[in-house]
Chain A
């Protein structure tokens, strides 16, 4: 979907609330997607590059959670 096609709500309150909700949805999606990738054997640098963030950032945000969930992680490269 291009930016032109994205329906923009007429009410500012609705448009702003959509931004807040999309951020939360993106956080949820990131948690699920990173876990899925790591379970499938992706490395931290690969996941970081695919997300467009540094590998330190992705490691800091997700490593503890995945380790406590028992996901076998590839060594940090």
Chain B
């Protein structure tokens, strides 16, 4: 396996941990984004951090998006005082549709797979025009187009 295969496996594994932790049935694009922000020494991670988007900031933005979207239909998640369910350390959440799309978009950015870098994977996530990721970024006041330009620049300046 090449370095990028290992990298994708690792960030998907981190993403699966995020999906388990927030009770999601599948790994979605926003879980992959959390993985990219939390794993490895990559231009992608640096570009996110430079924009103020470390793992904690992204988690907070995603939580705000969740609450905001529920509030729009009159549901307040904070009002449900549920006992938090026991986590299932063995559960392997499947790959959600949004994460497949993000990976496909990332792959589509390079002609040959051997040219694929973590930044392309991140751009594949950021390219989505609709869905949880762009909504969370917009709520956090992040200009997605600017962020994508910054990721491109960081990727051009660094081999990984």
Residues of A within 8 A of B (CB): 1, 6-9, 13-18, 20-22, 24-25, 27-29, 31-36, 64-66, 68-69, 71
Q: Verify A7–B72 contact, CB threshold 8 A.
A: yes
Q: Which of A18, A25, A32 contacts B83 (CB 8 A)?
A: A32
Output the least CB separation between A10 and chain B (Å). 10
What mask results when residues 21 to 44 of chain B are scored 1 for a CB within 8 Å of chain A, else 0? 011110000000000000000000
Nearest chain A residue, comparing its CB with the CB of B90: A64
Q: How many A-B residue pairs have CB under 8 A?
A: 82
Q: Verify B24–A24 contact, CB threshold 8 A.
A: yes
Q: Verify A31–B85 contact, CB threshold 8 A.
A: yes
Task: Report the Cα distance A64→B66, complex, angstroms.
Answer: 28
- Which residues of chain A come closer than 8 Å to B141, judged between CB atoms? none
Q: Verify B91–A14 contact, CB threshold 8 A.
A: no
Output the least CB separation between A62 and chain B (Å). 9
Q: Verify A69–B23 contact, CB threshold 8 A.
A: no
16 cross-chain CB contacts under 8 A: A6-B73, A7-B73, A8-B73, A14-B69, A17-B69, A17-B72, A17-B131, A20-B132, A21-B66, A24-B22, A24-B66, A27-B23, A28-B82, A28-B85, A65-B88, A71-B86
14 additional contacts (CB under 8 A) given A25-B80, A31-B23? A15-B73, A16-B130, A18-B70, A21-B66, A21-B70, A25-B77, A29-B80, A31-B85, A35-B85, A35-B86, A64-B90, A65-B88, A68-B86, A68-B88
Nearest chain A residue, comparing its CB with the CB of B135: A17
B-side interface residues, number (CB < 8 Å): 28
Nearest chain A residue, comparing its CB with the CB of B71: A18
Nearest chain B residue, comparing its CB with the CB of A12: B130
- Which residues of chain A come closer than 8 Å to B85, judged between CB atoms? 28, 31-32, 34-35, 65
Task: Report the Cα distance A1→B75, complex, angstroms.
Answer: 11
Task: Report the Cα distance A60→B62, complex, angstroms.
Answer: 29
- B111 on interface, CB distance cutoff 8 Å: no
Nearest chain A residue, comparing its CB with the CB of B25: A27
Nearest chain B residue, comparing its CB with the CB of A9: B72
Q: Verify B24–A27 contact, CB threshold 8 A.
A: yes
- Which residues of chain A come closer than 8 Å to B83, judged between CB atoms? 32, 35-36
